[in-house]
C-alpha cells in the first residue's frame, strides 16, 4: 500500500479527521503505519478514543479501498496529499488541512497564487456582472480564482476567469461523482478541460449535505491569499467563509452593493467592519503584488467596444446606470418619448448591448 492509498483509506473512516490524523502521524510517522498499529498503541495517543481505535483496527471491513481506487481511475481523477508539491502551501498552514485532495483536472504551480471569490447563490444582475468582471481582471493578472461551483456568484467567478483564459479551481462540497449543483456539470467539464481543476476532500460517492459545505468553505479560504465577497445577504453562507478566512489570517475584501438590496446587506456590513472596499481588481492587486508569479496589468475593463449607434440609441444607452434602471428613469434622462425609448431599447437588445429584467428594468451588457 502506498502512502497516498493509506491516506485515502483513513480519509474514508467516518470519525477520522485531519486533526486526529495529525496526532496519529506525530506518533506513527506514516499513514500506512497508522493502519497497521495495534489497539494499545492507538489508545495511547492523546485524543484518540475507542470509536476511532475500533475503526482503524477494522478499517478493511469499513472501507472499500480497492473500489474507491477503481472509481478514481475510471473517473480520471488523481489524489494528492500534503506531501505533494502541488498541494497548496497556504492550505497546509490552516488548523485542519484536508488529509487528501481529489483532483479532476490539473493543478499547477501557478495555483499557489490564488484569490477566493464568493457570494450569494441568489444574486442580482449587478452582483453577477461584478463577479465576472473582477474575476476576469484578477485571472488576467495571473491569480487563480478559487470558488465553490455553486449557483450565483461562484458560477460567475469561474466564468470570468475562463473568459480571461486564466486559471480557476472549483472546490466542491461533495464527492466528485456527486457533483452539485448538477446544472454546472458543463462548467465543471470546461474547467477540467485545461483551465483548472475540480477539487474535493471527500471520497468519490459522498453526497453534499449541511456539514460538507462548511468543510468545503475552509478549503476555499485556506487555499487563498485573500477572500473577495461580491454579494452576500445577512444570513449568507459566504459569511461563514469570512469568519474562517479571518481565523486563518487571510485578507477580506468586499464589493459594495445597493443599500436597499437584501443580497448586499452582509457584504456592506463587512465593509463597515473593516473589509477592504473593492471597486476594481487593482484594489486587491496592490495588496498582493509581491505574491504574483508574473504580474500583468489587468485590462481597464472587460467591456467590448460599442458598435456605431444612432443618436437616440446613444442617448438611451447612456441613460442606463451601472445598476438596474427602470424604463421611466431611462426616458426621463434620455429626454425622449416613452414610445421612442421602448423601440430604441428593443434595437439595443437585438444588438446585445442591453438586457431587460423583470418589471421593465434594463441593464447594460458588458
Burial category of 304 from C-beta neighbours within 10 Å (exposed 0-12, middle 13-18, buried 19 and up): exposed
pLDDT tens for the chain, 366 residues long, are 899 999 999 999 998 888 898 899 889 999 999 999 999 999 999 889 899 999 999 999 999 999 999 999 999 999 999 999 999 999 998 988 999 999 999 999 999 999 999 999 989 888 999 999 999 999 998 999 999 999 999 999 999 999 999 999 999 999 999 999 999 999 999 999 988 999 999 999 999 998 999 899 999 999 999 999 999 888 887 888 898 888 888 999 999 998 888 889 999 999 999 999 998 888 898 887 645 555 444 444 444 556 688 889 999 999 998 778 889 999 999 999 988 998 899 888 888 888 888 778 888 876
Torsion angle in degrees (nearest 10) through CA of 87, 93, 97, 102: -10
- Measured CA to CA, the distance from residue 304 to residue 89 in angstroms comes to 37
301: nearest Cα among 350, 230, 366: 366
Considering the entire predicted model, what is its pTM? 0.80
Residue 309 is predicted with a pLDDT of 85
Instruction: Collect all residues with Cβ–Cβ distance below 8 Å to 167 and sequence separation of at least 6.
Output: 108, 110, 111, 139, 144, 145, 161, 195, 196
- Measured CA to CA, the distance from residue 109 to residue 37 in angstroms comes to 36
Largest CA distance in the chain: 86
Cite the beta strand spans of the chain per DSSP E.
78-81, 100-105, 114-118, 144-147, 168-171, 196-200, 226-229, 251-254, 276-277, 325-326, 354-357, 361-364
Amino acid at each position: 500500500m502506498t502512502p497516498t492509498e493509506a491516506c485515502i483509506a483513513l480519509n474514508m473512516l467516518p470519525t477520522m479527521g485531519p486533526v486526529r490524523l495529525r496526532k496519529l502521524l506525530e506518533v506513527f510517522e506514516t499513514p500506512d503505519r497508522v493502519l497497521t498499529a495495534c489497539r494499545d498503541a492507538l489508545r495511547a495517543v492523546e485524543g484518540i478514543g475507542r470509536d476511532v481505535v475500533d475503526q482503524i483496527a477494522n478499517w478493511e471491513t469499513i472501507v472499500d479501498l480497492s473500489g474507491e481506487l477503481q472509481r478514481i481511475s475510471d473517473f480520471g481523477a488523481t489524489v494528492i496529499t500534503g506531501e505533494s508539491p502541488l498541494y497548496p502551501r497556504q492550505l497546509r498552514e490552516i488548523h485542519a488541512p484536508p488529509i487528501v485532495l481529489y483532483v479532476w483536472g490539473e493543478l499547477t504551480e501557478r495555483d499557489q497564487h490564488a484569490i477566493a471569490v464568493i457570494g450569494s447563490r441568489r444574486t442580482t444582475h449587478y452582483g453577477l456582472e461584478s463577479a465576472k468582471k473582477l474575476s476576469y481582471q484578477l485571472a488576467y493578472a495571473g491569480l487563480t480564482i478559487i470558488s465553490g461551483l455553486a449557483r450565483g456568484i461562484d458560477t460567475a467567478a469561474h466564468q470570468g476567469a475562463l473568459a480571461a483564459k486564466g486559471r480557476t479551481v472549483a472546490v466542491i462540497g461533495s464527492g466528485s461523482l456527486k457533483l452539485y449543483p448538477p446544472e454546472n456539470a458543463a462548467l465543471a467539464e470546461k474547467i477540467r478541460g485545461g483551465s483548472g481543476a475540480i477539487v474535493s476532500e471527500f471520497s468519490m460517492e459522498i453526497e453534499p449535505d449541511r456539514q460538507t459545505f462548511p468543510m468545503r468553505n475552509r478549503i476555499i479560504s485556506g487555499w487563498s491569499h485573500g477572500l473577495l465577497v461580491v454579494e452576500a445577504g445577512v444570513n449568507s453562507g459566504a459569511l461563514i467563509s469570512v469568519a474562517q478566512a479571518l481565523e486563518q489570517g487571510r485578507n477580506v475584501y468586499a464589493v459594495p452593493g445597493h443599500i436597499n438590496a437584501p443580497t448586499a446587506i452582509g457584504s456592506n456590513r463587512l465593509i463597515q467592519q473593516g473589509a477592504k472596499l473593492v471597486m476594481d481588481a487593482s484594489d486587491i492587486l496592490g495588496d498582493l503584488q509581491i505574491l504574483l508569479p508574473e504580474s500583468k496589468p489587468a485590462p481597464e475593463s472587460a467591456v467590448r467596444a460599442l458598435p456605431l449607434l444612432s443618436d437616440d440609441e446613444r442617448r438611451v444607452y447612456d441613460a442606463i446606470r451601472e445598476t438596474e434602471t427602470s424604463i421611466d428613469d431611462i426616458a426621463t434622462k434620455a429626454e425622449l418619448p416613452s414610445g421612442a425609448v421602448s423601440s430604441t431599447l428593443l434595437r439595443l437588445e437585438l444588438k446585445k448591448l442591453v438586457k431587460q429584467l423583470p418589471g421593465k428594468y434594463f441593464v447594460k451588457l458588458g
